[in-house]
Amino acid sequence: MSREEEIPPHIRQQILRLQQLQQTLEIVLSERQKIEAELVEINNAIEEIGKTTEDSIIYKLVGRIMIKSNKETLKNELMEKKEIMETRAKVLEKQEERTRAQLTTLQKDLQKALSEAGISISS
């Protein structure tokens, strides 16, 4: 009998769900990392704009070209983008917490089910 045949279908379903949750967590962590990096860039840009004088010429990237921009307009755009990114980061943080909690619960349930079925998992 193969090892897979020894595992009851409901436990196999739990294992699949555990793998899906692990993949979801990886995706959430990756997205959160990207957003945090973008927030650092936005904060640096806001800081640099703050160092400029009112008569400074400022450009912004639009696609692959640079366009002359107004200091206040650009700062407002960056502040708005920062707010959106912070909101997305909070949403992802909550999703990460939920996913971690689900993973922990499922791991405990799976260990219990495996133990009750007399199946040992070797690493």
Q: What is the pLDDT of residues 88-118, one digit of tens each?
A: 999 999 999 999 999 999 999 999 988 888 8
**Residue 28 counted as domain residue:** yes
Question: In angstroms, rounded to a whole number, what is the distance separating the alpha carbons of residues 77 and 67?
Answer: 14
Are 18 and 110 a contacting pair, CB within 8 Å? yes
The predicted-structure confidence for 6-38, as pLDDT tens digits, reads as follows 788 989 999 999 999 999 999 999 999 999 999
**Residue 67 counted as domain residue:** yes
- Residue 5: pLDDT band by 50, 70, 90 thresholds? low
CB atoms within 10 A of CB 42: 19
Report the number of distinct structural domains present in the chain.
1
Nearest partner of 114 among 2, 6, 1, judged by Cα = 6
**Residue 122 counted as domain residue:** no
Which is more confidently placed, 25 or 2?
25
Which amino acid makes up residue 90?
K
- Residue 122: pLDDT band by 50, 70, 90 thresholds? low
Global pTM reads 0.80
**Residue 15 counted as domain residue:** yes
For 94, the token pair is 């909550």
**What's residue 55's pLDDT?**
86
**Residue 40 counted as domain residue:** yes
**Residue 123 counted as domain residue:** no
* Domain containing residue 32: 3-116
**Residue 108 counted as domain residue:** yes
For 38, the token pair is 């973008």
**Residue 121 counted as domain residue:** no
Which amino acid makes up residue 12?
R
Output the domain CATH number for residue 8.
Answer: 1.10.287.370
